[in-house]
Amino acid sequence: MSVRITVDMNLCESHGQCVFVAPDVFWFDEDEILNHKPKVDSSEYDRVVAAAAACPVRAIQVSKIGEEVQ
Amino acid sequence: MTRIVIVGASLAGLNAAQALREAGYSGSITLVGDEPHAPYDRPPLSKQFLIPGTERESLALADTALLGLTEEYGRRAVHLDVRNRAVHLDSGRVLEFDQLVIATGVGARQWPEPVPRQGVHTLRTLDDAYGIKQDLNSGVRRVLVVGDGFIGSEATSTARSLGHEVTLAGKGRAPLNRAIGDDAAGFVSRLHREAGVTVLPGVRVTALHGSQRVTGATVNDDRLVPADVVLLALGDQPHTAWLADSGLKIDRGLVTDVHARTLDTNGEPLPHIVAAGDVTRFPHPHASGLVTLGHWSNAVEQARVAAATLLRPDAPPVYRPVASFWTTQYGVKFRAVGLPDQADRTEVHEFDLARRRLDVAYYRNDQLIGALTANRAARIVAYRSQLAEALSLLGIQPARMSIASVR
Ligand SMILES: Cc1cc2nc3c(=O)[nH]c(=O)nc-3n(C[C@H](O)[C@H](O)[C@H](O)COP(=O)(O)OP(=O)(O)OC[C@H]3O[C@@H](n4cnc5c(N)ncnc54)[C@H](O)[C@@H]3O)c2cc1C
Ligand code: SF4
């Protein structure tokens, strides 16, 4: 199991609340644009959900995805 | 089955309900609010919502339908009976509870005398915003904003962007001066003036004129400022009147401890009555005395701690947040962390009006307690980490967002 993260960049206003909660998953590049890992391990689920809840514009979607076939 | 009642159906109340469900609580939750609306988001009300074409949908918060709540809107709590664990509503109904979340927020301070029937507004609720929106979108007007806090300053910027002639009158040396200090307030002041706003700092508005429709106001007892629309942004008043005879401790807000528990008048915590959001005042190591953090992130984070405290009364999480807030004016988004208003000294690292860049650090007793930036997203993240580390060195982890991650 892993966790898929999508950010609606039309909504994102670079508040940075998600970066505060999970700086290893979300970060700003030099142009102040939000970057994020597309997928993290399921052990990170709680933290990523917390980051999504912290977003004032609800730009972050988190979903659990099944075992990937490598 | 456990019965949880939440009074106040806005950001904090909704997040408490969400956090309870996320943590697996399956008992009943009754959400009571006196506004006739389901929870909606307030920050846009002084910003994009006032611009034509921005609809109600832009204020959406999480959908309550998925949470299995009993929702009671348009109903006000008028009395709390702590001994019998009951909330009395204005309809006469009595809601019994096992556990209670108080999230009644604050209201806009009103003008102390009767005001002209048309053209005078305060701004806290959706209905307030509808009224202002109508007045700001029926021809170019002379707008007077009274009050130089966040709401006054933001509404000034929005009204100006709609083409109105705007005067911003406030008691401070510069708009936002009390909240963010002289340097950052100077930056905001320059933005207002650059945009053509008449800024009147250090003044008191002493009278409003007009019988049917407002015609203007008197400033400092002698100067007349004509206006077709007046926005009174005079600050907040905590919604605690309904608790006056409850025996809960109230001190310019509802006092809570570091676990979001309310206190009785002897200062003893009540583990089954928690509170969150703008209505609360609580201790914070970077402040002297109690703080009120009237900001979005606090309502979300404190509500989540309050929910966890109810579910785990024997091991309640600690709420010692790195506060954070943002404010947007003239398209510039200012982001702040910590408690800038508690500082005794500031350091300005960048003040570049042309490029809209600002970086100010705030200190108290030579300890970093806050920071504010504009167009420096990475800097504010670094400041935030520094503050989080300082708070965790005090022995206790700063509160995290999710119940599951509060360990
Ligand atoms: C115009 C505006 C712009 C803002 N902009 C920003 C911003 O840019 N950034 C930021 O960080 N924050 C901003 N804020 C602050 C943010 O919106 C608040 O911090 C947040 O709404 C607090 O949520 P709350 O649930 O604690 O209180 P509130 O949102 O005040 O909700 C309390 C609710 O309880 C209801 N209530 C009160 N008494 C009773 C009773 N006796 N019975 C039943 N119901 C009752 C109230 O009517 C209200 O609906 C802004 C606020 C406003 C008004
Ligand atoms: S919190 Fe939301 S708005 Fe802010 S940077 Fe993250 S995704 Fe963007």
pLDDT digits (tens, 9 = 90+) for B179-233: 999 999 999 999 999 999 999 999 999 999 999 999 999 999 899 999 999 999 9
Mutate to test the interface with A, among B402, B403, B406, B407 (most CBs of A within 10 A): B402
Q: Which residue's C-alpha comes closest to atom 3 of ligand 1?
A: B43
- Say how many CB pairs under 8 Å bridge A and B: 63
Residue A69 clears pLDDT 90, i.e. is over it = no
Domain positions in chain B are 3-105+239-311, 110-234, 324-405
Is A14 a domain residue? yes
pLDDT at residue A67, rounded to an integer: 52
Domain span at residue A54 reads: 2-64
The continuous run of DSSP H or E covering A52 comes out as helix A45-54
Question: Does residue A48 form part of some domain?
Answer: yes
- Give the model confidence (pLDDT) of A4-13 as tens digits: 999 988 888 8
Q: How far is A69 from chain B (nearest CA, A)?
A: 29
Cβ B129 under 6 angstroms from ligand 1: no
Residue stretches of chain B with pLDDT short of 50: 396-407
Per CB-CB distance under 8 Å, the chain A contacts of B297 are 17, 54, 56
Examine domains B110-234 and B324-405 and report if their fold is the same. Answer: no
| A41 found inside a domain | yes
ipTM: 0.77
pTM of the model: 0.93
Chain B CB contacts of A53 under 8 Å are: 15, 18, 300, 304, 401-402
Distance CA B105, CA B60 (A): 18
Of B276 and A67, more confident: B276
Q: Which fold has domain B3-105+239-311?
A: FAD/NAD(P)-binding domain (3.50.50)
A17–B297 CB contact, under 8 Å:
yes
Between these two residues, B407 and A69, which has the higher pLDDT value?
A: A69
Please work out whether the CB of residue B301 comes within 6 Å of at least one atom of ligand 1.
no
If pLDDT is split at 50, 70 and 90, which confidence band does A16 have? Answer: confident
CA distance B166 to B182: 22
Fold of B324-405: Enolase-like; domain 1 (3.30.390)
Q: Give me Rg for the CA atoms of chain A.
A: 12
Candidates B297, B401, B405, B406, partner chain A, best to mutate (most A CBs within 10 A):
B401
Residue A70 inside a domain? The answer is no
Would you state the structure tokens that stand for residue A2, as one six-digit string? 């892993």
A60 lines ligand 2 (CB under 6 A): yes
- Please name which of B149, B84, B162 lies closest in space to residue B122, comparing C-alpha atoms: B149
Nearest ligand to the CA of B7 is 1
Residue A56 domain-assigned?
yes
Give chain A positions within 8 Å (CB) of B326: 15, 56
Q: Count the domains in chain A.
A: 1
Q: Is A32 inside any structural domain?
A: yes
Q: Tell whether A43 is covered by a domain.
A: yes
Which amino acid residue places its CA nearest to atom 4 of ligand 2? A15
Cβ(B346) – ligand 1 distance below 6 Å:
no
Identify whether the C-beta of residue B254 lies closer than 8 Å to the C-beta of residue B238: yes
User: CA–CA separation, B34 vs B241, rounded Å?
Assistant: 14
Q: Which among B104, B151, B297 is the best mutation to test ligand 1's pocket, defined by most ligand atoms within 8 Å of the CB? A: B104
Separation CA A31–CA A27 (nearest Å): 11
pLDDT, tens digit, 9 for 90 and up, residues A18-57: 999 999 999 998 778 899 999 999 999 989 988 998 898 8
List the CATH code of the domain at B110-234: 3.50.50.60
Q: What is the pLDDT of residues B26-81, one digit of tens each?
A: 999 999 999 999 999 999 999 999 999 988 888 989 889 999 999 999 999 999 99
Which band of pLDDT confidence, cut at 50, 70 and 90, is reported for residue A15?
A: confident
Residue A69 lies in a domain: no
Cβ–ligand 1 distance for B11 under 6 Å, the answer yes
CATH code for the domain of A58: 3.30.70.20
Tell me how far the alpha carbon of residue B319 lies from the centroid of ligand 1, in angstroms.
20
Report pLDDT for B123: 98
